[in-house]
Amino acid sequence: MTPPNTPESSPNLQPGPSRQKVQSVKKRNRDQAKCYRDNKILEDKLAEQKRKIQMYKQRYLREKRKGANFDKPCPDTPRTKTKKLLRNFSQKEVRKTLIYHYAMEGQIKQSYQNLKDNSQKRSLAAILKGSLLRKYNLKTTAYRNCGIDVRNTLKVKNKSIKKNV
C-alpha cells in the first residue's frame, strides 16, 4: 500500500526564509551594531579632543594676556608671597618676615594706645580698613592684634554720621 498523496497547494504551509537569508540578516545587524558602537566611541574621542582644544586655547590666551603686560609687571599678591616664602623655606627670610610683622604690629598698637584724641584713633584705625585686609579676611585679626576695639570705632563712626545728618 502506498501512502496517500499530499495536497499540492495547502494554504497554511509557506516556506520560511532560507538559512542563508537568516544568516545574512544576522550578519548585517551585527555589522550595523558594530558601526554604531564605533561611531559612539569616535564621537566621545572627538568631544574629548574639543575639550582639550578649548582648554589649550584658553591657556594660550591667558599666557598671551599675561605676556602683553611686560612693561607693567604684575606684583605678587600677599598670598603668593607667603606661598613662595614657605615653599622655599629659608629660615632667615621667614624669621625676618615674622620679626617685621610683629614689630609693625607692636608699633601700631603702641601708637594707638598713646593717642588721646578719638579722631586720631579713628584715622589710625582707618589704615586697617584697607581692601587687602578685607580681601584676605584679616581685618578683625588686625584690629584684635593691634588692640583696636572694633565696636568703639564703629560706634564713633556711627555717631559722626548721625551728627552730619
Same-domain check for residues 55 and 106:
no
Residue 157 lies in a domain: yes
pLDDT along the chain (165 residues), means of 10: 70 78 96 97 97 95 77 72 81 82 84 84 80 80 79 53 48
* CA dist list (Å): 120 to 54, 114, 117, 124, 139: 55, 10, 5, 6, 19
Q: Structurally, how many domains does the chain consist of?
A: 2
pLDDT of residue 12: 63
Same-domain check for residues 108 and 153:
yes
CA proximity to 44, closest of 36, 33, 56, 55:
36
pLDDT of residue 40: 97
Residue 14 lies in a domain: no
Residue 78 lies in a domain: no
Residue 79 lies in a domain: no
pLDDT of residue 38: 97
Residue 137 lies in a domain: yes
The type of residue at 15 is P
**Dihedral sign, CA of 56, 58, 60, 62?**
negative
Same-domain check for residues 57 and 105:
no
Residue 120 lies in a domain: yes
Q: Would you state the cell numbers that stand for residue 10, as one nine-digit string? A: 495547502
Q: Does the global pTM surpass 0.75?
A: no
In whole angstroms, give the CA distance from residue 140 to residue 121. Answer: 16
Same-domain check for residues 97 and 149:
yes
Residue 25 lies in domain: 20-69
